Structure 1
Amino acid sequence: MIGDNGIIGTIVIGLLAGAIAKLLMPGKDPGGCLITILLGIAGALLAKFLGQILGLYQPGQNAGFIAAIVGAFIILFIYRMIVGRRRL
């Protein structure tokens, strides 16, 4: 199964989560597709970190796919808020 252990699994899940978060939050993203993918990876890492703090995941266990999508969505939203303010 993809993502049982390690950073590679988190990155793979993050790539997919970033793409899905982009589909769920349409609109023009500053930075394009590459930035969206990187934000997806950051979202998966965020979900993993928060899940471990809350006791949902054991150390070394990756976040679930849905949690990674939610994390990517949150990071994408925050990114758009920050970058959108700079452009005004």
Structure 2
Amino acid sequence: MGFLAFLVIGGLCGVFAWVFYPGQRKSKPNLVKPLLAILLGFIAALASSYLGQVLGFFQPGQMLEWLSAILASCLAGSLYAGLNK
């Protein structure tokens, strides 16, 4: 997977986890929190793909790489949203 795919997958999963996480929100949220969720999701997707390839779990472009990137970025976004109330 390429750099852009990691950015899209990680960014979307991070923002969706931040947006859909239940809790009290201000009427006008600042821009830093969604951007940080995008960055954390991207980094988690990139790290899961890199570690999976280094440890020999999958080759680049396999379906397991996509799945690990999605799961890692959703987990990172959920943890960020849960800890940043």
State whether TM-score is above 0.5. Answer: yes
Note the alpha carbon deviations across 1:26-76, whole angstroms, 9 max, x for none.
457xx4111101111111101101211232221x43731x42233224544
One-letter code aligned to 1:48: S
Q: Unaligned regions of 5+ residues in structure 2, if any? A: 26-31
Aligned residues: 77
Q: Where in structure 1 are there 5+ consecutive unaligned residues? A: none
Please give the alpha-carbon distance, in whole angstroms, between the structure 2 residues aligned to 1:7 and 1:54.
Answer: 20
- The CA deviation at 1:9 is 1.4
Higher relative contact order (CA 8 A, sep 6+): 2
Q: Percent identity?
A: 32
- Give the alignment's Cα RMSD to 1 decimal: 3.2
TM-score, structure 2 normalization? 0.59
Q: For residue 46 of structure 1, what is the amino acid of its counterpart?
A: A
TM-score by length of 1: 0.57
